[in-house]
Amino acid sequence: FEVQEAERDVAVEDEAEWFLTPGDPRRGVAREDPYPLYARLREQRPVLECSQKRWLVTRYADVLGVLRGNSWSRDELAAEGVALDAATLPPSRRLSAFSLLRRDPPDHTRLRRVVAPFFTARGVARWRARVDELTRDLLEAVRDKDSFDFYAEVSRRLPVMVICELLGVPADDMDEFARWAATTLSVLEPGDDPAAVQAAREAAATSCLEFFNALADERVRSTRRPDDLISHMIGVDEDRLSRDELVSTAVMLHIAGHETTANLVSNGLLTLLRHEDQFELLRSDPSLVPNAVEEMLRFDSPARNALTRIAVEPVEVGGVTIPRGDTVYAVLGSANRDGATFTDPDTFDVSRTNNPHLAFGSGIHYCLGANLARIEAQAVFTRLITDYPRLRLVAEPRWRDSFVLRALEGLEVAWE
Ligand code: HEM
């Protein structure tokens, strides 16, 4: 029995290590369905040290403790001893380094205050009608198709359109911008030349920076200031928001605003298609849609791993001391399936009532766009169940090889 236990321990550590390495062919199983691995980690190694001073934290209580704790930093440059200097940073790092997501207080607090009013429940309520209108147009555009990729045609387009309008990015530039954003986030596939992939990422990051700088310049020159977020940021004093911070925040909002929301909608639809009884329940009672969206967020969390935190001092997590300077990955997808917090955690239940999921994180970096993502997903599922025929899967979808996101490569469906 002891030998068997030891073998299982080795296996879970190995599996976790492959899982941390996009491109490793051995990741296959956990890529398609990471939940059995998460369950073993929670049970056997809830705080697991992988190579290179990296740790996986998988239990709900520990994940929450990390996200709300004060002994952690989000600032990767500071941890590496690299200066936050736009002149010396490569474009791909400039893209994110100046944004609030990668800063600690007091800079984080200052930057969050600038943009927060746009994203409060009240701030996004004025977008509800527009989001519904865009949803209707996207669904109408696929109504007559025999089969189509729901991810590409609906899930991905809606958040891109919404965030572009909110920021003030002209509609004509949307597609090009989405391509750059995808390139900057691309991961190495087996057989790729790492130098070529990095060069493509840097070129795309340069295009993103130039694009937003030009847009900001145009707004400064213009006498007409539309009611969008870029115009709002232009009006903020330089000591509260520098130009580098403005551009980085705009790019980060654009990327954060569409990738994850697209995954929520696609993963949510896939889950409903695989749980026909729950889909039926929702059709019979559309008032359950907001609740169902929360359950989708819990059950297949779009940002499932890699909420990265760096220990600024030795800190205890689940009885283990993490040394100063080490990196912790708080695994949201695992926390959201922890039986110590959720009843029947592996059951998808659109009428679940007690659902304190962590899909939007927690603490000071709690997702700024949570309210917006919610109204987008609610609009899609409300329209789908009230105005359209049933959908069915036409091909078994594949998951993208990402450690950060729980993302489909596509979702081929047809109307019944
Ligand atoms: C932060 C998830 C949609 C903007 C976060 C974090 C998570 C998250 C987990 C915390 C990161 C951390 O603590 O390290 C999601 C999910 C979404 C979504 C699952 C959709 C279903 C959006 C949208 C926007 C957005 C639509 C903007 C329009 C942000 C920003 C932050 C953030 C700006 C950083 C906040 C800060 O550092 O204070 N998001 N997000 N997100 N998200 Fe989202």
* CA of 252 relative to ligand 1 center, distance in Å: 10
CA distances from 105 to 101, 151, 251, 374 (A): 11, 36, 21, 27
* CA of 289 relative to ligand 1 center, distance in Å: 21
| 367 in contact with ligand 1, CB cutoff 6 A | yes
Q: What is the pLDDT of residue 20?
A: 72
Confirm if 77 and 97 have CB atoms less than 8 A apart. yes
Per-residue pLDDT of the chain (416 residues; tens, 9 = 90+): 343 444 444 478 877 777 777 666 666 666 788 899 899 999 999 999 987 788 999 999 999 999 999 999 998 888 888 888 888 899 888 888 888 988 999 999 999 999 999 999 998 998 999 999 999 999 999 999 999 999 999 999 999 999 999 999 888 888 887 788 778 766 666 567 888 888 988 998 899 889 989 999 998 888 777 789 999 999 888 889 999 999 999 888 888 878 889 999 999 999 999 999 999 999 999 999 999 999 999 999 988 777 899 999 999 999 999 999 999 999 999 999 999 999 999 999 999 999 999 999 999 999 999 999 999 999 999 999 999 999 999 999 988 877 777 889 899 999 99
| 335 in contact with ligand 1, CB cutoff 6 A | no
Q: What is the pLDDT of residue 289?
A: 98
Helix, coil or strand: residue 182: helix
The strand pairing partners of 359, in sequence order, are none
Question: In testing the pocket of ligand 1, which one of 169, 360, 376, 381 has its CB within 8 Å of the most ligand atoms?
Answer: 360
Q: What is the pLDDT of residue 8?
A: 47
* CA of 367 relative to ligand 1 center, distance in Å: 4
Helix, coil or strand: residue 187: coil
In angstroms, the CA 361 to CA 199 distance is 32
Cα-only R_g, the chain: 21
| 361 in contact with ligand 1, CB cutoff 6 A | yes
* CA of 374 relative to ligand 1 center, distance in Å: 12
Q: What is the pLDDT of residue 190?
A: 57
| 118 in contact with ligand 1, CB cutoff 6 A | no
Confirm if 253 and 163 have CB atoms less than 8 A apart. yes
Confirm if 162 and 134 have CB atoms less than 8 A apart. yes
Report the helix count and the strand count for the chain, using DSSP H and E. Answer: 19, 10
Confirm if 24 and 18 have CB atoms less than 8 A apart. yes
In angstroms, the CA 204 to CA 91 distance is 9
Number of Cβ atoms within 10 Å of the Cβ of 366: 13
| 160 in contact with ligand 1, CB cutoff 6 A | no
Which amino acid appears at position 124 of this protein?
V
Q: What is the pLDDT of residue 7?
A: 43
- DSSP class of 188: P
Specify burial of residue 1 (Cβ count, 10 A radius: 0-12, 13-18, 19+): exposed
| 100 in contact with ligand 1, CB cutoff 6 A | yes
Confirm if 372 and 127 have CB atoms less than 8 A apart. yes
The strand pairing partners of 311, in sequence order, are 72
In angstroms, the CA 180 to CA 186 distance is 10
Q: What is the pLDDT of residue 74?
A: 92
**Is the interface score ipTM higher than 0.95?**
yes
* CA of 173 relative to ligand 1 center, distance in Å: 23
Residue 111 CA: which ligand 1 atom is closest?
Answer: 38
Residue (of 295, 298, 324) closest to 309 by Cα position: 324
Taking the chain, what is the end-to-end CA distance rounded to the nearest angstrom?
A: 52
| 124 in contact with ligand 1, CB cutoff 6 A | no
Q: What is the pLDDT of residue 176?
A: 82
